[in-house]
Amino acid sequence: MNYIDSTITGVQKLQLNTKVDNSTVNTDAITWTLTMDGNDDSSITFNTPDSTFEISPKGYYQELSLDLDGFDIQDNIHYVIEAKKNDDTVYLGKVYVTSTDIANYTVHPNKYTEKTSTNNFTILD
């Protein structure tokens, strides 16, 4: 899953695999839609290539650079991201928007505890 940090202004990068050939991915006209999960009325549409949105090949995957400044992106929400080329869906996935530091992000903080026993053996009577 990709993450967007809502505290960062400027360009952010998402790593993804589209059905577009790497040799033409940065020049093909692709329409992207970012829709709030469960709310089809709340969406953002942009095109690549563009000055603030571009996609580039990175070997076995592509990297989407996007600048979402000025868009109403809400924190702690999943978004569905879809890419279409000539009305064919070439990518469909989810992205999570969070203000939490991604490196230290946990889904259920303090919900699970670490095993404290050093005994790894079970004794059967």
In sign, the C-alpha dihedral spanning 37, 41, 42, 45 is positive
What integer is the mean pLDDT of 33-45? 87
pLDDT tens digits along 52-61: 889 999 988 9
Q: Which domains does the chain have, with CATH numbers?
A: 2-98 (2.60.40)
Mean pLDDT of the chain: 85
Contacts of 44 (CB under 8 A, 6+ apart): 33, 34, 35, 68, 71, 73
Q: What is the pLDDT of residue 44?
A: 87
Q: Which residue has the higher pLDDT, 31 or 114?
A: 31
